[in-house]
Structure 1
Amino acid sequence: MAARVEACTPCHGNQGQGTNDVYFPRLSGKPSGYLFNQLLAFKNGRRKYPPMNYLLEFLTDPYLQEMADYFAEQHPPLPPPAPSDVSEAVLRHGQTLVTRGDPVRQIPACGSCHGPALTGMEPGIPGLLGLRPNYISAQLGAWRYGTRTAKAPDCMQQVASRLTEADVTAVAAWLAARPAPVSIAPAPKGTYVLPFACGSEPD
């Protein structure tokens, strides 16, 4: 499989560790179920990015699962935190949303779903560390405007639709500036209870 996924390396780096391109995410170490769901979404056109749609269109679901399993098993170190060009006030706002949310606007803390260490949880919730701020902003924007969707109930769309542009900037900047925790592995399934039902994490 390592040889077969070499076509992924120009965008996603060796072992899926990511590259300097701000718009292509790290794949390595994310839960296999999450990666498989994303591959299916590109294959079926629910996520729209023509190069990915074309590459995956004729691959079988079992093969996509093998690809997901391969990248989930890779654990290269996270890249160093991205330098931030936003103010301390913006970073504090991002920290508040990530760690405490905003109950008045019914925005849960990012950590309530993605874990206290922000490393995700098996089988379908990804970690949020090691990503560039532009990528995080782009994905939150896609959730907000409905160009990225997930299985119902689409919890990310529900949360992102309540975020402002300033919220997105702050969350992306604070997450991208986080150092790596001691362990970057996703938490085992059932480690914590999600604040609401989510289609990516069935019972």
Structure 2
Amino acid sequence: MFVWLWLGFSSVAAAADLPHRVPDTLAQRLQACTVCHGAEGRATPGGYFPRIAGKPLDYLYHQLLHFRDGRRNNAGMSYLLDHMGDAYLRDIAGHYAGLDLPYPPPLPPAAPPAVLKRGEQLVRQGDPARGLPACNDCHGARMTGVAPAVPGLLGLPRDYLIGQLGAWQTGLRKAFEPDCMARIARLMAPEDVSAVASWLAAQPVPVPAHPQA
């Protein structure tokens, strides 16, 4: 019995001495992204952080560039990306763009019917009298985005959508010129922002959810 216990202890001790090897894969390197964006970039339907899985490759790549180079304002993202080169950022974008994962159902609407109706009107028709185009005009008829660089707007949290429209309005978020989203966002009243974000966040994501060509 003593010999058996000693041999068993020796085996455990020997195993403990072996180095722990972590697979050197892109998915493993991107574990830091899961803290905010969830496992495999899925995020969650509530909260501030967006889903990045399945977004168009060029859109993700340019957002990484914007964070690194100061056109988007987020200290955590800027810190993570500060020393990464363009080629590596494109690899990261390609990894997440290639993920084809189901979306969870949306949370119950956070606004009354009249506000949701106004939000749907702005998304689908815009407000021509004020020079506001429909969101459909750029983000696709199904609101799942347009390849290679226009993101979908469904499956995103309401708070995130409001925060991004506010960032466009105040100049905290910028893009390469012509910065059309900045111009459009500045035409939107606070109640427009709330209505659009509330309606979008309450919509189920169609299947498949791929960006249109």
TM-score, length-normalised on structure 1?
0.90
Q: How many residues align?
A: 188
Query: 1:40 is paired with a residue of what secondary structure?
Result: helix
Q: Which has the higher helix share?
A: 2
Q: CA contact under 8 A between 1:11 and 1:19: conserved in structure 2?
A: no
Q: 2:140 pairs with 115, 122, 125, which one?
A: 115
TM-score (norm 2): 0.86
| Aligned twin of 1:6 | 31
Cα separation, 2, equivalents of 1:170 and 1:79: 22
Query: Relative to 1, partners in 2 of residues 1:172 and 1:102: Cα closer, same or farther, differing over 3 Å?
Result: same
Superposed CA RMSD in Å reads 0.9
For 2:126, the equivalent position in structure 1 comes to 101
Q: Does 1:152 align with 2:177?
A: yes
Where does residue 201 of structure 2 map in the other structure?
176
Structure 1 contact 81–179 (Cα < 8 Å) conserved: yes
1:59 aligns with 2:76: no
Distance in 1 between residues matched to 2:46 and 2:125, nearest whole Å: 30
Judged with a 3 Å threshold, the aligned counterparts in structure 2 of structure 1 residues 41 and 168 are, in CA distance, closer, same or farther, namely same
> Residue 125 of structure 1 corresponds to which residue in structure 2?
150
**Unpaired segments of 5 or more residues in structure 2?**
1-25
What is the identity, as a one-letter code, of the residue corresponding to 2:118? H
Q: What CA distance in whole angstroms lies between the structure 2 residues aligned with 1:63 and 1:154?
A: 25
Aligned with residue 49 of structure 1, among 56, 74, 93: 74
> Match of 1:77, as an amino acid?
P
Q: Deviations over 1:54-87 (max 9, x none)?
A: 0000011100000000000012111211222211
List structure 1 runs of 4+ shifted beyond 6 angstroms: none
Equivalent residues in 2 for 1:31-50, closer than 5 Å: 31-50=56-75
Alpha-carbon separation, structure 2, partners of 1:85 and 1:34: 28
Q: 1:120 is aligned with what amino acid?
A: G
**How many Å separate the matches in 1 of 2:110 and 2:211?**
29
Rounded to whole Å, the distance in 1 between the matches of 2:145 and 2:45 is: 23
Q: Distance in 2 between matches of 1:115 and 1:21?
A: 23
Where structure 1 has 5 or more consecutive residues not aligned to the other structure, the ranges are 189-203
Partner AA of 2:152 in structure 1: G
C-alpha contact 1:121 1:127 (8 A) present in aligned 2: yes
The offset of 1:21, in angstroms, is: 5.5
